[in-house]
Amino acid sequence: MASVSKRGKTWEIRYRVKDAMGQITQKRVGGFKTKEEAWAKAGQIEQAAQMNVEQPKSDLTVGMLLERWFSEYAAQSVEQTTLARYNMNIDRLSHFPIYNEPVKNLTKARYGQMFNYMQSCGGQNGKPLKTSTVKVYFDVLRNSTSWAASENIIPLNPLAGYKIKKIKQDSYKEPDYLDPNDIQDVLSACKGKRIYTPILLAIYGGLRAEECCGLKWKSINFSRNTLIIIEAKTRDVYGRKIDKGPKSPMSKRTISMPQFVMDYLNQLPRESEFVCVSRKREPYSINSLTNTLKRIEEQINEKRKCTNQPPIPPASFHDLRHTHAAMLIKLNIQPKIISERLGHSSIAITMDTYGYLMTGLQEDVANKLNTFC
């Protein structure tokens, strides 16, 4: 018989279960906002017990459960881009010990140990993972265990009501961006190459990689010097290139571009309906953009090494977008305009990401106010 009691500001359920060895243990499930919600779940637990829900087989591991959830539920219910992301995160979870542990032995406490491990030293070379990254893995695990409980594969979702606690990191990593010398070296190194087009769009338009890949000629207005961002291109779980909408509603936007960028675009041959295409006349993929930029950086650093210049900082393609934001801030462009240009869902995201670059503008404001004295 399950019981319901209040614990702090939420309600919890207590009930007893018999494991495969015949031992009876007491379990708790908390986090319910109302008493009615807790009793509703308690009723489900008792109903499952009356139906004699089969205990998970001893050989059913977390990895096996994830694969089953992926094929039987996710593959039938979510968009291809989401499915590809799930597939990638399941692959990354396979590197953690819990992936091979039997489902029947796992408790909320055990999951908690794994999430704490991820946040403390679960990254490459023992580095901590960001809380946001851990939450992504948590969502996949919680979705799979919730589905398994609803399908009576497991008697109860052990992650119901569980919350990832944010661990304070020793240092905050600010977004990387290129300085003017770096920008000129990158553009010079890829001048005359096909990669020049998406790099130019990212630096001077702030386009995301998938937006560069999905940009079509019909979305360019040469009379108004604007780009209309309404499409993006990425890959599905099978590696096939697919069209999708931008990241968020605010990502659908019109961007005014410098004249020299428009002049460059206007002289390009129309080899495809897409603007940024490879030698095969196919739209670039995000991976090919990333890998090509990495090779260009290596070439630049080889030349700089010969002249005793410091190397260019390692930059991902997304860092070119950060570079665009940094350029706008140094030009004293209003944060609202920057947010609209980048297609952020809110100005708060812009301020949280690039606010550290705006601290130097305070002195500029003070100096300008002096003119009113």
**Per-residue tens of pLDDT for the chain, all 373 residues:** 567 788 777 888 877 665 444 456 667 777 778 888 878 877 777 666 655 444 455 578 999 999 999 988 988 888 777 888 888 889 889 888 889 998 887 788 888 888 888 888 877 667 788 888 888 899 999 999 999 888 888 888 888 888 887 765 544 455 678 999 999 999 999 999 999 999 999 999 999 998 999 999 999 999 999 999 987 766 544 444 555 566 667 788 999 999 999 999 999 999 999 999 999 888 888 888 989 999 999 999 999 999 899 998 888 899 999 999 999 998 989 989 999 999 998 888 888 888 777 766 667 767 777 777 6
- Domains of the chain, by residue range, sit at 1-52, 55-167, 180-361
The residues near 288 (Cβ < 8 Å, ≥ 6 apart) are: 278
Residue 6 Cα distances to 16, 30, 36, 38, 39, angstroms = 18, 9, 12, 10, 12
User: 10 Å Cβ neighbour count for 206?
Assistant: 23
CATH architecture of the domain with residue range 55-167: Orthogonal Bundle (1.10)
DSSP states along 194-247: TTHHHHHHHHHH---HHHHHH-BGGGEETTTTEEEE--EEEE-TTS-EEEE--S
Alpha helices in the chain (DSSP H): 35-50, 62-69, 75-77, 80-93, 108-121, 131-150, 180-190, 196-205, 209-214, 259-266, 286-306, 317-330, 335-342, 347-354, 361-369
The residues near 307 (Cβ < 8 Å, ≥ 6 apart) are: none
Tell me which of 1.10.3720.10, 3.90.1150.10, 1.10.443.10, 3.40.50.300 is the CATH number of domain 180-361: 1.10.443.10
Beta-bridged to residue 61, according to DSSP, are 102
Tokens standing for 228? 């209309």
0.75 exceeded by pTM: no
- Of 287, 356, 340, which is closest to residue 318 (Cα–Cα)? 287
The residues near 182 (Cβ < 8 Å, ≥ 6 apart) are: 312, 313, 315
Strands 24-32, 3-7: pairing is unpaired
DSSP states along 260-279: HHHHHHHTS---SSBSSB-T
**The predicted structure's pLDDT at residue 162:** 85
**The predicted structure's pLDDT at residue 23:** 52
Do residues 96 and 114 lie in contact, with contact meaning Cβ atoms separated by under 8 Å?
yes
**Residue 30, helix vs strand vs coil:** strand
What does the buried/exposed string (b/e) look like for 126-163 if buried means 16 or more CB atoms within 10 Å of the residue's CB?
A: eebbebebbebbbebbbbbbbbbbeeebbbbbbbbbbe
